[in-house]
Amino acid sequence: MIKLFTLSRKRTFTTRLLILSIIWIPFLYSCEEDTSGTTYISGKVVNPEVSYVVITNYTDIRDTLQLDNNGNFETSFEDLTSGLYSISYPGEYQSFYIVQGDSLGMRANTKAFDETLAFTGAHSKENNFLIQLFIDIEKSNMRLLKYKNESPKVFYKNVQNVKKERLKNLDNAVAKYNFEDRFVDFAKFIINLNSYYELERYPILNDGNPYEDEGVVFPEEFFAHRQRLDLNKTKLLNNYAFRPFMNAMVSNIAFKKLSIKNDDDVDLNSYYYNKERLAIIDSTLTDETLKNYFAASEIRNFIRRRKNAKDINLLVNDFLTISTDQRVNAEIAQMASTYISLDPGQPLPNFKLRDIENETVMLKEEVKHLTVLYYWSIQDKNYAVGIHEQVKDLQLKYPEIEFIGINIDDLGYDEWQDVIAQNNFRDSREFQISGRSSVERQLALRNSNRSMVVDHDLTIIDPNINLFYYRIETTLLGYINR
- CA-closest candidate to residue 302, choices 326, 287, 324, 281: 281
SS (H, E, C) 409-446: CCCCHHHHHHHHHHCCCCCCEEEEECCHHHHHHHHCCC
Walk me through the domains of the chain, giving residue ranges and CATH numbers: 21-261 (no CATH), 271-340 (no CATH), 352-480 (3.40.30.10)
Residues facing residue 86 across a β-bridge: 56, 95
What's phi and psi for 76, nearest 5 deg?
Answer: -145, 155
Cα–Cα distance between 271 and 308 in angstroms, integer? Answer: 10
pTM: 0.76
Task: Fill in the amino acid letter for 56.
Answer: T
How far, in whole angstroms, is CA 271 from its chain's centroid? 21
- CA-closest candidate to residue 432, choices 443, 422, 417: 417
Question: SS3 breakdown of the chain: % helix, strand, coil, rounded to 5?
Answer: 45, 20, 35
Please give the pLDDT value at position 439. 65
Q: Exposed/middle/buried for 299, CB within 10 Å: 0-12, 13-18, 19+?
A: buried
Please give the pLDDT value at position 265. 86
Pairing of strands 371-376, 402-407: parallel
> pLDDT 10s digit of each residue in the chain, 482 long?
343 333 333 333 333 333 333 333 333 333 344 456 899 999 999 988 788 999 999 999 999 999 999 999 999 999 899 999 999 988 788 999 999 999 999 999 988 888 999 999 979 999 999 999 999 998 888 889 999 999 999 999 999 999 999 999 999 999 999 999 999 999 999 999 999 999 999 999 999 999 999 899 999 999 999 999 999 999 999 999 999 999 999 999 999 999 998 777 899 989 999 999 999 999 999 999 999 999 999 999 998 877 678 899 999 999 999 999 999 999 998 888 888 888 888 899 898 999 999 999 999 999 999 999 999 988 788 889 999 999 999 999 999 999 999 998 888 899 999 999 999 997 789 999 886 655 666 666 655 578 999 999 999 999 888 898 888 999 999 999 98
To 5 degrees, how large is the angle CA 93–CA 94–CA 98? 135
What's phi and psi for 66, nearest 5 deg?
Answer: -80, 140
Assess contact for 107 and 25: CB atoms under 8 A: no
Category of 52 on φ-ψ map: left (φ > 0), alpha (ψ -120 to 50) or beta: beta
Please give the pLDDT value at position 58. 93
Please give the pLDDT value at position 343. 82
Please give the pLDDT value at position 100. 93
Please give the pLDDT value at position 3. 35
Assess contact for 360 and 352: CB atoms under 8 A: yes
Task: Fill in the amino acid letter for 318.
Answer: D
